[in-house]
Amino acid sequence: MITILDSSQRAIKNWWISILIGLLYIFVGVWVMRTPLESYISLSIIFSVFIFVSGISQIAFSISNKNEMTDWGWYLAGGILDLVIGILLLAHPLMTMAILPLYVGFWLLFQSILSIGLSFQLKSAGIPQWGWLLFWSIITLLFSFLLLANPLFAGLSIVYMTAFALITAGIFRIFLGINLKKLDKLFKD
């Protein structure tokens, strides 16, 4: 099976999208942390828009790299899943407030599992920083488990857990983008 990193002698286009997604994750995470007393409605709306935009970005990344990687469909599937979840969250704001921790928990669970797999792909390509990517993926996975273990836990704790989870997912995406840029440069040389 050929992975994203097995397509040697080809550039990985749009590596910077991962960095932008990471910065967006961190921005939203910091915003959530700095405004804990803001309405829970705003958190649900911001998160819904964030997931929607993240899905569109992941779809664009996968489609733009479909000729460079044979498993681009998995990345496309992840983007479509984010897009569908974003649409559902935007369409039902009251329901979203009631079950936001479950949405966030399952979404982060899916993202962290994808990230763990990507970390091992980077390891097989000989990228020395793959361990940091794995570390941040596991941290994000732990936050997803915390959210899923106690979804009715309301108030500031869910706000802070969501903020920390978004920040760790953002750090992973930035590390990933930097490593994809290195691969892009390596393939061009």
* pLDDT at res. 24: 92
Confidence category of residue 150, pLDDT binned at 50, 70, 90:
confident
Tokens of 183: 């691969």
Residue 6 has pLDDT above 60, yes or no: no
Among the ranges given (6-20, 96-110, 119-133), the one the predictor scored with the smallest mean pLDDT: 6-20
Instruction: Report the alpha-carbon distance of residue 75 to residue 32 in Å, rounded.
Output: 27
Higher pLDDT, 104 or 77: 77
pLDDT, tens only, 38-71: 656 777 787 788 889 989 988 998 898 888 777 7
Most confident of 17-21, 64-68, 69-73, 121-125: 17-21
Helix ranges, the chain (H)? 16-34, 40-64, 72-91, 93-124, 130-149, 156-188
* pLDDT at res. 172: 86
Tell me the CA distances in angstroms from 163 to 50, 131, 143, 144, one per residue in order: 13, 23, 10, 12
Task: Residue 25: name the closest of 179, 163, 177 by CA.
Answer: 163
Residue 168 has pLDDT above 80, yes or no: yes
Confidence category of residue 17, pLDDT binned at 50, 70, 90:
confident
Task: Residue 81: name the closest of 47, 60, 54 by CA.
Answer: 54
Instruction: Report the alpha-carbon distance of residue 115 to residue 173 in Å, rounded.
Output: 9
Task: Residue 78: name the closest of 62, 92, 66, 100 by CA.
Answer: 62
Contacts of 42 (CB under 8 A, 6+ apart): none
Mean pLDDT over 115-124 rounds to 86
The structure tokens 């997604």 sit at 21
